[in-house]
């Protein structure tokens, strides 16, 4: 726990200017490369955002997740969106007694202890926000020793320790509300200095450490003994100074001591000796200032030191500090150099309180994107290179192309940087400092495409470059000197895409180029002379992007180009005629990044160029921007797209998009064309106008903490209700009938990017479904009926992590007085009295009523006629509903209900036909009914693999096969799931085998196309039975028997897979092989037929019945 030093004045000592000497050479310069300072992107919260004052002296987070900020002019409650201010209340017992908040500590009961400057100790109760204060009273022996507090500590035993200026150390017992004073003056220091306590810490052993103006004390809380540590000018292992301002125990048990003007100390608890860390103006890796104001160790064990001149990150291994200060030109740098407080919230956000510019807030997850600033790459203070290209050698040397600053080479192992630039006096130097493209060939040599200097061939071992230029008199020279892209194909050919000269191809072992000039009017000609990008298809064809000339596909066998252009009337054409990026992923899919058209996927094969189409993904699908500069894919198949507005991560598997911006750690919102690269181990590079980002996509972590959801506002008729905080509604909220419009404001307490938090809500008892609020936070209801409700709110943070438990607020709406039971009783009594009066009046109006009754009868007759007409209309509607109830909603086929209601009629007709003994009808020769039960093989894996939409599409295709195979008089029924029933009517039994084989073969031989174009194959199993099977069967069997028998036969076929099994009659031997009786349903008819060998079957041997992709 730290206490804050005196407020910095406006006339402090002027900042010492740091002198930096940056070496660079015009030819090639090498220097030792120190570890880059990883930039920090801060979001600012200042007085203009609602903070009560610009000095953020102390910061805390309460048990619910609300952030509290103490300033020199009030206490602030912050929910991620708005500030609520608490200020001094003069008079009365409640409220703050001073606006100057020095320190805040969490209380055991969820409240906050507040140390004020002049107002004593305050306790903020939560959620009621009631404030109780304890102030010095000279007449009270066990009262607080003074009103000017500098720090407050709530220890593990329930006591509250107070550091007071000029009044020493107090311990407060909240249970008895009594104070115990501890004297620190031990005769070895000035009493006034010892009585000024600025820092308190309870260590892991339970001892309390006290930092004062007279040194450091360790207080044994069990016996009250003190051990003092002070500065000794003769001992370099003593404290560097006695004015202690902050104390911190790290996870390793080391005690860190920050002083006012004497730097930082680390105490070795075993030896009692201190190691000093001081500011050195000549060494940028030392502490930025000797006035230390706060110390924080975050969850990643990074040690942060706040000083009067910036924030410091301590590197334990190197023993060095990295400094972060305010940059007036960068609104996302530290808000001010004078820092007063540090705090890490539960989600890992670092809060930096400054003395002059409010809060600077940093999300440590931004470092996962590996931002490298242009300033760390610059050859001079005046240059700020824009990154245009990357390449990497086998020995892990990184080559960075810049626009105007030449070539930067970083040897990762040696931590050295070499710069290559153009030298007019040296023909073996780079030809141009404006590098557009880089490519490392298989020989380990670097090809450098420049803006106007042609193509350079650089030997990294010697730094010598061979230049290739355009020569108007040499047809074998480079076709133009502006090189936009360089690419090596699988055969070792070097492709140079020029600006204005088409394509130049250099084959291995030659110094001449084969030219392909633009010829857009000729069949098979190149569409544009401005070439932007290359990619090689698995077939060896070369994809070529152009500026305003569309996409070209080069066939190396014929030497011809196929051209694809944008067509507004063809939705599956190329989205834009300018192609900036091409990428072939691990599956061989080709992706096209365009200018203004978003991302296209090539649909089709390079081997069949005439049938290629494009599927588009753009901003309407969630991309951050439709200008795609670079494309790379990770091991999971996700595409990482650099754009004009951040990076989009697109997952082709489910179509989801996640966007990242500068606040997430990107070098800028704007990236550069061609500045993207991926190493063999999957590491990605994306360059832009302010540097580049390098990261392993598998290591990018998102905020996984579930955000708490709280009510932050309650409104009636748009007026905020201030009498009670929303959190007070522990037993629910009670509304009256007059509350005809109520609103609730909610907040997800995740502070990484609150403006991207999302919400949805449901009022149980009113809303049937959840309502998506998006990023809005206010929920409004009007004219709620009386009754009981529960308002439920769920929220997600910017990373998409949802709190599904969320907030639940019971709400009761009281009925209006005229809607209560006693009101209804009065209404009934009034009606009864009124009825009696009416009865008396009625006797005098009989004659008038008779005439009125006649007219009324006529009116009733007219209305009755209208009602009769309405009834007829309703009957027609019922008929339509009845018809729809007999159909399957997915396939439109007849359903199970239709079978039992309609087909049963057929059975009765057949039964009557056979009941006439004189008819002489032989069931074996009759053409009556054949019931076929059809089940798809392995339908479940289709749903599991391709999704339920794919399964539904397959069922629709099976429906079409069955309708084609059957006659119009037959019934085709979807029985349920993947089962169908075909009822062949007036079909001779001898034809049933052919029909079953027709259905089986057509399903097995057909490739079914799913919605995404995927083709699959499947098979079916069929069981069929003729009706009736034997004489007397029509009398004894019902529809359930016949269906069950067909179902048993189908399961017998299922054992064989891709087969059919049928029973035509008991007296007809039609079997081709025997069966295991025990494996089949042993109903009397089936058992008898099997025993006598009168079962018909057909099996396709060796058939793979799994649902597999076609082709």
Nearest residue to 75 via CA among 18, 107, 119, 109: 119
Let me know whether 731 and 789 are in one domain: yes
Per the CB < 8 A criterion, the answer to whether 985 and 1023 are in contact is no
> pLDDT > 70: what percent of the chain?
87
**How far is it, in rounded angstroms, from Cα 805 to Cα 796?**
11
Give the list of residues 6+ apart from residue 147 with CB closer than 8 angstroms, or none. Answer: 97, 98, 116, 118, 119, 120, 135, 136
- What CATH number has the domain bearing residue 62? 2.130.10.10
pLDDT tens profile 960-1001: 999 999 999 899 999 999 999 999 988 887 788 899 999 999
Last residue of a domain, one of 182, 203, 218: 182
pLDDT above 80 (res 721): no
pLDDT tens profile 907-957: 888 777 776 544 555 555 555 789 999 999 989 998 888 888 899 999 999
Q: Is the pTM of this model over 0.75?
A: no
CA torsion, ordered 404, 405, 406, 410, to nearest 10 deg: -150
Per the CB < 8 A criterion, the answer to whether 100 and 106 are in contact is no
pLDDT above 90 (res 210): yes
* 940 located within any domain: yes
**Judging by DSSP bridges, how do beta strands 494-498 and 503-506 pair with one another?**
antiparallel
CB atoms near residue 525 (< 10 Å): 16
Let me know whether 901 and 808 are in one domain: no
* 35 located within any domain: no
Tokens of 238: 């003593």
| pLDDT number for residue 722 | 54
Band of residue 719 on the pLDDT scale cut at 50, 70, 90: confident
Let me know whether 127 and 163 are in one domain: yes
Band of residue 1091 on the pLDDT scale cut at 50, 70, 90: low
Average confidence (pLDDT) over 317-322: 94
Per the CB < 8 A criterion, the answer to whether 12 and 290 are in contact is no
Question: Is the bond preceding 914 in cis, omega lying within 30 degrees of 0?
Answer: no
* 959 located within any domain: yes
Give how far Cα 726 sits from Cα of 80, 715, 740, 824, Å: 16, 10, 19, 35
976: left (phi over 0), alpha (psi -120 to 50) or beta: left
What does the mean pLDDT of the chain come to? Answer: 87
**How far is it, in rounded angstroms, from Cα 1094 to Cα 1070?**
5
| pLDDT number for residue 28 | 36
> pLDDT > 90: what percent of the chain?
66
Let me know whether 970 and 990 are in one domain: yes
* 277 located within any domain: no
Nearest residue to 1023 via CA among 1067, 951, 975: 975
Question: Is the bond preceding 127 in cis, omega lying within 30 degrees of 0?
Answer: yes
pLDDT above 50 (res 13): no
* 392 located within any domain: no
| pLDDT number for residue 1067 | 47
**How far is it, in rounded angstroms, from Cα 877 to Cα 882?**
9
pLDDT tens profile 34-70: 345 688 999 999 999 999 999 999 999 999 999 999 9
* 396 located within any domain: no
Question: Comparing 126-130, 297-301, 378-382, 598-602, which segment has the lowest mean pLDDT?
Answer: 378-382
Let me know whether 677 and 788 are in one domain: no
**How far is it, in rounded angstroms, from Cα 458 to Cα 1028?**
89
Domain with 649, as residue range(s), is 636-700
Average confidence (pLDDT) over 445-455: 97
Nearest residue to 930 via CA among 746, 1081, 744, 1062: 1062
Q: What are phi and psi of 314, to 5 degrees?
A: -90, 125
Q: Strand ranges (DSSP E) for 384-526?
A: 387-392, 397-402, 407-411, 416-420, 435-440, 446-450, 455-459, 464-468, 483-488, 494-498, 503-506, 513-516
- What CATH number has the domain bearing residue 759? 2.60.40.10
**How far is it, in rounded angstroms, from Cα 18 to Cα 282?**
8
**How far is it, in rounded angstroms, from Cα 1063 to Cα 1029?**
8
- What CATH number has the domain bearing residue 1091? 3.30.70.270
Per the CB < 8 A criterion, the answer to whether 501 and 483 are in contact is no
In total, the chain counts a number of residues equal to: 1111
Let me know whether 1078 and 953 are in one domain: yes
Average confidence (pLDDT) over 1005-1028: 88
Dihedral (CA of 902, 905, 910, 913) sign: negative
| pLDDT number for residue 587 | 96
Let me know whether 115 and 163 are in one domain: yes
Per the CB < 8 A criterion, the answer to whether 351 and 67 are in contact is yes
Let me know whether 948 and 1034 are in one domain: yes
pLDDT tens profile 131-143: 999 999 999 989 9
Last residue of a domain, one of 136, 155, 182: 182
| pLDDT number for residue 796 | 94
Question: Comparing 379-383, 547-551, 860-864, which segment has the lowest mean pLDDT?
Answer: 379-383
Give how far Cα 90 sits from Cα of 64, 133, 299, 460, 896, Å: 29, 12, 41, 75, 80
Let me know whether 688 and 744 are in one domain: no
Let me know whether 1035 and 922 are in one domain: yes
Query: Is 298 or 860 the better-scoring residue by pLDDT?
Result: 298
pLDDT above 90 (res 1055): no
Band of residue 877 on the pLDDT scale cut at 50, 70, 90: low
Per the CB < 8 A criterion, the answer to whether 467 and 478 are in contact is no
Band of residue 725 on the pLDDT scale cut at 50, 70, 90: very low
Give the list of residues 6+ apart from residue 1049 with CB closer than 8 angstroms, or none. Answer: 933, 1023, 1024, 1025, 1061, 1062, 1063, 1086, 1095
Last residue of a domain, one of 136, 164, 182: 182
* 800 located within any domain: yes
pLDDT above 90 (res 803): yes
Let me know whether 644 and 750 are in one domain: no
pLDDT tens profile 416-436: 889 999 999 999 999 999 999
pLDDT above 80 (res 308): yes
* 1042 located within any domain: yes
| pLDDT number for residue 867 | 78
pLDDT above 70 (res 864): yes
pLDDT above 80 (res 585): yes
Let me know whether 737 and 791 are in one domain: yes
- Give the total number of structural domains in the chain: 4
| pLDDT number for residue 247 | 98
Nearest residue to 640 via CA among 626, 621, 655, 659: 659
Band of residue 881 on the pLDDT scale cut at 50, 70, 90: low
> 545: which strand partners?
533, 551
């Amino acid at each position: 726990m730290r206490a804050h030093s005196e407020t910095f004045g406006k006339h402090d000592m002027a900042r010492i200017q740091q002198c930096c000497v940056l070496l660079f050479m015009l030819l090639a310069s090498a220097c030792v490369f120190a570890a880059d300072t990883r930039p920090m992107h801060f979001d600012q919260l200042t007085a203009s955002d609602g903070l009560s004052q610009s000095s953020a002296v102390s910061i805390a987070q309460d048990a619910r997740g609300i952030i509290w900020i103490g300033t020199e002019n009030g206490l602030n409650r912050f929910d991620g969106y708005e500030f609520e201010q608490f200020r001094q209340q003069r008079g009365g017992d409640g409220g703050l007694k001073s606006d100057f908040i020095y320190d805040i500590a969490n209380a055991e009961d969820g409240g906050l202890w507040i140390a004020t400057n002049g107002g004593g100790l305050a306790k903020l109760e939560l959620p009621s926000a009631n404030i109780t204060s304890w102030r010095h009273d000279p007449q009270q022996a066990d009262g607080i020793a003074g009103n000017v507090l500098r720090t407050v500590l709530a220890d593990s035993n329930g006591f509250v320790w107070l550091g007071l200026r000029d009044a020493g150390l107090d311990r407060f017992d909240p249970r008895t509300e009594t104070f115990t004073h501890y004297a620190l003056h031990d005769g070895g220091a000035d009493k006034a200095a010892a009585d000024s306590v600025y820092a308190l810490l309870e260590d892991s052993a339970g001892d309390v450490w006290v930092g004062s103006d007279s040194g450091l004390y360790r207080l044994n809380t069990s016996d009250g003994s003190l051990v003092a540590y002070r500065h000794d000018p003769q001992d370099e292992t003593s404290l560097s100074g006695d004015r202690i301002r902050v104390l911190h125990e790290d996870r390793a048990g080391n005690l860190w001591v920050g002083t006012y003007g004497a730097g930082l100390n680390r105490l070795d608890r075993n030896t009692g000796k201190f190691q000093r860390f001081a500011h050195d103006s000549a060494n940028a890796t030392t502490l930025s200032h000797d006035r230390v104001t706060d110390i924080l160790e975050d969850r990643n064990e990074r040690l942060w030191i706040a000083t009067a001149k910036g924030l410091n990150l301590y590197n334990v291994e190197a023993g060095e500090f990295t400094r972060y200060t305010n940059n007036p030109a960068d609104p996302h740098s530290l808000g001010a150099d004078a820092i007063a407080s540090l705090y890490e919230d539960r989600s890992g956000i670092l809060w930096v309180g400054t003395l002059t510019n409010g809060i600077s807030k940093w999300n440590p997850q931004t470092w996962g994107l590996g931002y490298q600033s242009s300033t760390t790459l610059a050859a001079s203070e005046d240059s700020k290179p824009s990154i245009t290209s990357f390449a990497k050698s086998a020995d892990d040397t990184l080559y960075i192309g810049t626009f105007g600053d030449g070539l930067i080479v970083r040897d990762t192992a040696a931590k050295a940087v070499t710069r290559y630039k153009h030298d007019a006096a040296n023909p073996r130097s780079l030809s141009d400092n404006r590098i557009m493209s880089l490519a490392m060939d298989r020989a380990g040599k670097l090809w450098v495409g420049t803006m106007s200097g042609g193509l350079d061939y650089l030997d990294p071992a010697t730094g010598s470059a061979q230049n290739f230029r355009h020569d108007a008199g040499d047809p074998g020279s480079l076709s133009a000197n502006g090189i936009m892209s360089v690419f090596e194909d699988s055969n070792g050919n070097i492709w140079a895409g020029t600006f204005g000269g088409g394509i130049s191809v250099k084959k291995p072992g030659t110094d001449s180029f084969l030219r392909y000039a633009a010829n857009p009017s000729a069949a098979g000609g190149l569409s544009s002379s401005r070439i932007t990008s290359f990619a090689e298809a698995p077939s060896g064809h070369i994809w070529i992007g152009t500026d305003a000339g569309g996409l070209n596909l080069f066939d190396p066998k014929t030497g011809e180009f196929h051209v694809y252009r944008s067509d507004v009337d063809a939705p599956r054409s190329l989205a834009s005629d300018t192609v900036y990026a091409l990428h072939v992923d691990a599956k061989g899919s080709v992706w096209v990044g365009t200018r203004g058209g978003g991302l296209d996927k090539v649909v089709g094969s390079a081997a069949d160029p005439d049938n290629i189409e494009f599927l588009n993904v753009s901003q309407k699908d969630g991309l951050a921007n439709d200008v795609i500069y670079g494309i790379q894919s990770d091991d999971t198949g996700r595409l990482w797209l650099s754009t004009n507005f951040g990076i989009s991560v697109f997952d082709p598997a489910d179509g989801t998009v996640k966007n990242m911006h500068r606040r997430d750690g990107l070098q800028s919102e704007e990236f550069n064309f061609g500045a993207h690269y991926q190493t063999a181990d999957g590491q990605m590079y994306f360059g832009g106008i302010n540097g580049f980002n390098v990261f392993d996509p598998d290591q990018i972590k998102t905020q996984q903490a579930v955000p708490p959801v709280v009510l932050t506002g309650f409104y009636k008729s748009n007026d905020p209700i201030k009498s009670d905080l929303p959190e007070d509604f522990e037993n629910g909220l009670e509304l009256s009938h007059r509350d005809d419009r109520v609103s609730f404001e909610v907040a997800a307490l995740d502070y990484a990017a609150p403006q991207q938090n999302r919400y949805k809500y449901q009022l149980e008892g009113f809303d049937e479904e959840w309502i998506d609020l998006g990023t809005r936070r206010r929920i409004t209801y009007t004219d709620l009926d009386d009754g009981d409700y529960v308002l439920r709110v769920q929220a997600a943070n910017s990373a998409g992590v949802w709190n599904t438990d969320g907030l639940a607020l019971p709400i009761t709406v009281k009925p209006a007085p005229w809607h209560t039971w006693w009101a209804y009783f009065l209404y009934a009594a009034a009606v009864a009295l009124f009825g009696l009066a009416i009865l008396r009046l009625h006797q005098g109006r009989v004659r008038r009523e008779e005439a009125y009754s006649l007219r009324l009868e006529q009116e009733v007759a007219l209305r009755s006629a209208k009602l009769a007409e309405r009834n007829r209309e309703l009957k027609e509607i019922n008929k339509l509903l009845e018809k729809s109830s007999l159909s399957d909603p997915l396939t439109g086929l007849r359903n199970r209900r239709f079978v039992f209601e309609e087909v049963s009629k057929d059975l009765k007709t057949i039964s009557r036909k056979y009941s006439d003994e004189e008819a002489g009808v032989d069931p074996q020769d009759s053409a009556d009914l054949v019931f076929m039960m059809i089940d798809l093989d392995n339908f479940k894996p289709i749903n599991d693999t391709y999704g339920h939409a794919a399964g539904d599409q397959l069922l629709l295709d099976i429906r079409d096969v069955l309708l084609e195979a059957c006659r119009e008089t037959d019934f085709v029924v979807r029985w349920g799931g993947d089962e169908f029933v075909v009822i062949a009517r007036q079909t001779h039994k001898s034809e049933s085998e052919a029909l079953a084989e027709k259905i089986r073969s057509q399903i097995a031989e057909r490739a079914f196309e799913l919605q995404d174009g995927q083709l699959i194959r499947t098979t079916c199993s069929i069981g069929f039975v003729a009706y009736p099977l034997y004489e007397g069967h029509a009398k004894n069997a019902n529809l359930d028997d016949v269906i069950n028998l067909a179902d048993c036969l189908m399961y017998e076929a299922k054992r064989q897979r891709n087969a059919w099994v049928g029973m035509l009659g008991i007296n007809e031997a039609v079997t081709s092989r025997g069966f295991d009786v025990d494996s089949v349903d042993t109903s009397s008819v089936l058992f008898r037929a099997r025993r006598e060998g009168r079962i018909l079957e057909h099996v396709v041997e060796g058939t793979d019945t799994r649902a597999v992709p076609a082709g």
